[in-house]
A and B are shown apart, each in its own frame.
Chain A
Amino acid sequence: MTSTDQQAFLSVRDLKVHFSTEDGIVKAVDGLSFDLEKGKTLGIVGESGSGKSVTNLTILGLHDRHRTAIDGEILLDGKELTTARESELEKLRGNKMAMIFQDALASLSPYHTIGKQIGETYRKHTGASKSEARKRAIEMLRRVGIPQPDMRVDDYPHQFSGGMRQRAMIAMALVCDPELLIADEPTTALDVTVQAQIMDLLKDLQQEFGTAIVFITHDLGVIADIADDVLVMYGGRCVERGTKEEVLRTPQHPYTVGLLSSMPSLDGPVDVPLSPIPGSPPSLLNPPSGCRFHPRCTFAEKVPGGLCSTERPLLKVEAGRGSACHLTLDQRQEFFADLAATRH
């Protein structure tokens, strides 16, 4: 997340993604900017409906073009993606950029074997023959740690366990050695020991190929493990960004603080109730005015003049670090110190 003059590998500038639906316009992403270098991992944290998945579908051009209004820039290696033609995107997708989805079972075709699905991408982009693609699929399955890959390659998705399906998805995403990998909650459905394996696998593969990874998750623990930089999203906007250390050690936004203090840990006190964030995430059809977090924010009343409900706080970023909140830094230090002490 450096703001150097030279172009970052992936650069998103003031991205706005609006869907028109029968009920009105859904502002799924509302002014988002970030940079990502090769070999680095950007963790995007947010709840369902925070716009994190939409952002990444837009990068890949997988959004519904007829119903989506996109504003802003997405530059991948200097190439503008928002205005790129579908045929150009097709050449990039699966080849230069790839995605791992959350629900592996829903993302795999139940009618085709795992091997065929992995090989298909490879054949399309390299023009390899069927037998070459099969060989490649077996190799990929072995690389992602599927036992007996030469037998499992002919299995159908329903014959795989959850962890294995996710591995197969990763194999499929990496089959053409992409430079950008977007992982949308890739470990959410997995067991912790398998999650640890998958994250190690992603880290190893990243080290080997220098892949840039956008890692979307709701789990701050996963972020602590894998990310270099973190972007916290709420209601379609970035509320806080910084390095992983900055965001987790000294969070600056009440939402980040709330997330951290609502999570139980393996060492914290057990006899006190958790401190949840009250309310539920906002509807993007009719988002709250001003700061989108203000209806759930316990500090909103501390800001004079009801500023939180009338004016959108700007994201002030300095050297990659910033947050969007009306509280002064001194106020935040004071308020958040207590919360840090009661952290579970």
Chain B
Amino acid sequence: MSNTNPLLDVTGLTKHFPVKGGFPIRRTVGAVQAVDGLDFQVNEGEALGLVGESGCGKSTTGRLITRLLEPTGGKISYRGQDITHAGRKELAPVRSEIQMIFQDPYASLNPRQTVGKIISGPMEINDINPEGGREKRVRELLEIVGLNPEHYNRFPHEFSGGQRQRIGVARALALEPKLIVADEPVSALDVSIQAQVVNLLQKVQQELGIAFVFIAHDLAVVRHFSQRVAVMYLGKIVEIADRDDLYGNPRHPYTKALLSAVPEATVDETPARERIRLQGDVPSPLNPPSGCRFRTRCWKATEKCATEAPPLVQVEGNKPGHLTACHYPETEGTIPAPRLSKDPQAAA
């Protein structure tokens, strides 16, 4: 699917939130560099996973793509059309093709509206009158997402968390979008329900051919859902690759550390991955480290990392499309310095 025109093309996308301070005149004293120079593409029908820790800018990215936020810099093209700074009117047709699914199924549904009203909302706004009426379409959508169409007149509080998330999915599907940005769609749900919603989204993606930007912090869920995965750290993409390359051959130290930190429900004697324990928290995006932003927590960091920001490129030994932003990419079997690794036996 590469090299054909991508559905969504993002280059150099930047979002800085100004920070005001001072008295009596409030001036801009700094900027939270939430997203700083992202380049990625989403092809039609493809699911791109965005993973990273909180504060890495993945949600901001989702909101920039959907233009709920105004980018500070860079360019977003949707089907070749520049929508970076498009106005309300210009955006209207695009907005009906890019939909969003939110994390919190309790906060993202209006408690005073019936399910029917919620799901038909997008059609009302866009003045779309499907054949057979909106109600019929809503009932169809309810069926697609696995809810009883009879529940048309119920209110959100009558549903469980998993069912509410299904309502959110139905609403996103109402306008037959080409791209859905799903921001942590399952993280608020019970484990036994998560799989139901992941399966539903996957069904929607495959059967309706909708492209997804799947934002999540759960690496296992992202792996299951996405064909390509981008790992973000402090507003930058540090590694992007096909699923199997990223999980099987992570080249960025952060990707490797992130993967090793996922607790797996197995009790095997030998852990599948060596354990790398990162120290400290993610630095503040208000004042990110110079050069490589991961260097303050990286066990390989040198002088060069502090002065020179590593470009996102195809490093030696990578397959095409597997890009890594690191001066000293990992090779298989690299052993991190002992001061940051922890013997799993000793920790047990």
Q: What residues make up the interface of A, taking CB atoms closer than 8 Å to B?
A: 47-48, 145, 147, 161-164, 191-197, 199-200, 203, 218-225, 244-245, 248-249, 258-260, 262-267, 270, 273-278, 280-281, 344
Contacts and interface: CB of A to CB of B under 8 A. Distances in A.
A266 B202 contact: no
Given A224-B264, A274-B195, A276-B193, A192 B258 contact: yes
B266 interface: yes
Contacts of B266: 224, 248
Contacts of A145: 280
B190 interface: yes
Contacts of B282: 161, 191
A244 B348 CA distance: 13
B278 interface: yes
A276 B199 contact: yes
Interface string B30-45: 0000000000000000
B263 A195 contact: yes
A63 B275 CA distance: 40
A264 B160 contact: no
B318 interface: no
A266 B267 contact: no
A196 B224 contact: no
Nearest to B160: A280
Nearest to B159: A280
A217 B338 CA distance: 31
Contacts of A278: 196
A260 B16 CA distance: 42
Chain A CB within 10 Å, residue with most, of B199, B258, B263: B263
A192 B342 contact: no
Contact of A48 (B190, B202, B223, B258): B190
A223 B263 CA distance: 8
Interface in B244-284: 247, 257-259, 261-267, 272-273, 275, 277-282
B121 interface: no
B163 interface: yes
Contacts of B277: 196-197, 200
B278 A265 contact: no
B221 interface: yes
Interface residues of B, number: 47
Contacts of A277: 192, 195
B180 interface: no
Contacts of A192: 53, 217, 219, 258, 261-263
Contacts, number: 134
15 contacts: A161-B54, A192-B261, A193-B258, A193-B278, A220-B265, A222-B263, A245-B267, A248-B266, A263-B191, A270-B243, A273-B203, A274-B195, A276-B199, A277-B195, A281-B190
Contacts of A220: 191, 265
Most-contacted residue by chain B among A164, A249, A263 (CB, 10 A) = A263
B190 A270 contact: no
A221 B195 CA distance: 15
A344 B191 contact: no
Contacts of B220: 263-266
B194 interface: yes
A47 B281 contact: no
A194 B281 contact: yes
Contacts of B195: 262-264, 274-277
B198 interface: yes
Contacts of B156: none
A248 B199 contact: no
Contacts of B161: 48
Nearest to A344: B224
A224 B272 contact: no
A220 B266 CA distance: 9
Contacts of A195: 261, 263
A221 B263 contact: yes
Nearest to B217: A191
B209 interface: no
A270 B265 contact: no
B105 interface: no
Nearest to A296: B192
A147 B223 contact: no
B162 interface: yes
A152 B119 CA distance: 46
Nearest to A204: B347
Given A47-B190, A192-B53, A273-B203, 6 more contacts: A162-B54, A192-B261, A197-B278, A224-B264, A280-B162, A280-B163
Interface string B329-348: 00000000000001000010
B55 interface: yes
A263 B278 CA distance: 25
B233 to A, nearest CB: 10
B193 A274 contact: no
Contact of B281 (A163, A265, A267): A163
A276 B186 CA distance: 13
Contacts of B263: 192, 195-196, 199, 219, 221-222, 224-225
A270 B199 CA distance: 12
A29 B34 CA distance: 45
Contacts of B162: 280
Contacts of A270: 223-224, 243
A18 B224 CA distance: 40
B267 A249 contact: yes
Contact of A266 (B194, B257, B272): B272
A267 B220 CA distance: 9
A225 to B, nearest CB: 4
A145 B280 CA distance: 7
A218 B263 CA distance: 12
Given A47-B191, A193-B278, A263 B55 contact: no
B193 A161 contact: no
Nearest to A258: B192
Contact of B265 (A47, A221, A273): A221
A223 B191 contact: no
A266 B192 contact: no
A281 B224 contact: no
